[in-house]
């Protein structure tokens, strides 16, 4: 099971092992060009492709993208259906490319809300790429951090009903295996494009000690150079995980 940053100190390197991204700014990118918001999302798919290639080449092992939050259903119906169409198209067209690049695809979130065709395509794409392990690409779709914690709690209580009567036995390690990304280490680097500085109910449990990087760049403009800029920034961070700076330096010298 992945190491918990609040229980143990993870070993970290110059390149983040796990990068999580909120791909924001598609609408404003389109608006600035007098295009419909949906054109921004379509252009955003190209940035997804670039991010996968760049992360794979840089040695990132896990890339997690927030494609559709539990709250995105509040958007206009035509935008929601375009996002669904883009998702279907990407699953139909991109799986061969993922295979060539050794990318394993995972989709996390409450998938029961999606139409059966989309659910079927997701299952097929996950199965086809299941043997790859160069890069784990996770798409968070109809995902919310609070949903994740709640679904994990429900699953835990179903598996261990005695905990409901005596919750003193409930701790991090009992809940963590039921979270939807239990198989992945916690994100090292969180990136949000588009200038906003918030986490927006993304991996709220998993990002307890993640480094947070915010850039004004809109997602459709976010390419290789921008991603490397975020990695350079990441390298300047001192990751203390609750320790003092002196302790971190002492460990680095030993
Ligand atoms: C946020 O920009 C973006 C989204 C809600 C959707 C992201 C989707 C994609 C990049 C394309 C589909 C992805 C896959 C994996 C196939 P926004 O619309 O909130 O932009 P704004 O803040 O400028 O309005």
pLDDT digits (tens, 9 = 90+) for 136-184: 999 999 999 999 999 999 999 999 999 999 999 899 999 999 999 999 9
Q: Region 34-61: what's the mean pLDDT?
A: 96
Give alpha helix (H) positions in 76-195.
77-100, 116-128, 145-159, 162-165, 172-175
The answer to whether residue 47 scores a pLDDT higher than 90 is: yes
Please check whether residue 178 is in contact with residue 151, taking contact to mean a CB–CB distance below 8 angstroms.
yes
Please check whether residue 102 is in contact with residue 135, taking contact to mean a CB–CB distance below 8 angstroms.
yes
Global pTM reads 0.94
Nearest CA to ligand 1 atom 15: 67
Nearest CA to ligand 1 atom 18: 27
Alpha-carbon distance of 67 to 52, in angstroms, equals 14
Determine whether the shortest distance from the Cβ of 143 to ligand 1 is under 6 A.
no
Determine whether the shortest distance from the Cβ of 122 to ligand 1 is under 6 A.
no
Choosing among 3.40.50.300, 1.10.10.10, 3.40.640.10, 3.40.1180.10, the CATH entry for 18-162+170-253 is 3.40.1180.10
pLDDT digits (tens, 9 = 90+) for 186-223: 999 999 999 999 999 999 999 999 999 999 999 999 99
Domain ranges of the chain: 18-162+170-253
Nearest CA to ligand 1 atom 8: 67
């Amino acid at each position: 099971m992945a190491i918990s940053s609040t229980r143990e100190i993870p070993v970290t390197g110059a390149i983040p092992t796990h990068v999580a991204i909120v791909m924001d700014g598609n609408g404003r990118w389109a608006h600035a060009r007098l295009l419909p918001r949906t054109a921004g999302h379509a252009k955003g798919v190209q940035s997804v492709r670039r991010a996968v290639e760049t992360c794979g080449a840089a040695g990132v092992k896990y890339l997690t993208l927030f494609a559709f939050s539990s709250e995105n259903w509040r958007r206009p119906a035509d935008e929601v259906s375009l996002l669904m169409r883009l998702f279907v198209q990407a699953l139909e067209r991109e799986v061969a490319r993922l295979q060539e690049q050794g990318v394993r695809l995972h989709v996390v979130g409450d998938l029961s809300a999606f139409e059966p065709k989309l659910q079927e395509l997701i299952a097929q794409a996950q199965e086809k790429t299941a043997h790859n392990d160069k890069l784990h690409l996770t798409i968070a779709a109809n995902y919310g951090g609070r949903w994740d914690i709640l679904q994990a709690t429900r699953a835990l209580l179903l598996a261990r009903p005695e905990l409901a009567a005596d919750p003193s036995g409930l701790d991090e390690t009992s809940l963590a295996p039921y979270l939807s990304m239990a198989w992945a280490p916690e994100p090292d680097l969180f990136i949000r494009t588009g200038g906003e500085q918030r986490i927006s109910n993304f991996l709220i449990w998993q990002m307890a000690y993640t480094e947070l990087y915010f850039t004004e760049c809109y997602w459709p403009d976010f390419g290789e150079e921008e991603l490397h800029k975020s990695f350079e920034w990441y390298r300047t961070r001192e990751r203390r995980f609750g320790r003092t700076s002196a302790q971190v330096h002492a460990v680095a010298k030993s």
